[in-house]
Amino acid sequence: MRRQQLWQALSDAAHAVMTATEDWKEDPTPAKRAVVDGAVARYVDYLAPVIGSEAAFRFEATTRAFNDAMDRFASLIATLQGRVLDAADVQLLQGVAAEQVAAGRAYVASQSALLAALNKAHLLDEKGDQQ
């Protein structure tokens, strides 16, 4: 695949990830989560030739970890909803919330690293086109 086609495929895959993620956030079902995971996997397939396999893997891993943490938190909230919470429930809720925050921070950091890697790749491609 030519670089220009690769960039377009990457853009299309990124749009698919955003659309699937928004749909999953509105209605967090396992089926919609599977669509998100599939969209992320396709995005990573196009991402690896642009920024390298290792960087693409790190992005995929932090994305999945963040989504897993959000699923765990939402599941726990649903389980605890309507119950009188005891100290163990509160402690569990705090622990799962802390995991979600940590996963969110790692995800944001991976987004920043991804953006930097994409910018670098784009500049290198532009430089190559000018030669």
pLDDT of 96 over the 70 cut: yes
Three-point CA angle 117, 119, 125, nearest 5°: 105
Record the pTM.
Answer: 0.82
Domains of the chain, each with CATH number or no CATH:
3-130 (1.20.120)
If one compares 1 and 127, the residue with the highest pLDDT of the two is 127
pLDDT at 128 over 80: no
**Nearest-angstrom CA–CA distance, 72 and 92:** 11
| Span 103-114, pLDDT tens digits | 999 999 999 999
Report pLDDT for 129.
63
Q: What's the chain's average pLDDT?
A: 92
pLDDT tens by residue, 17-35: 999 999 998 998 899 999 9
pLDDT of residue 3: 85
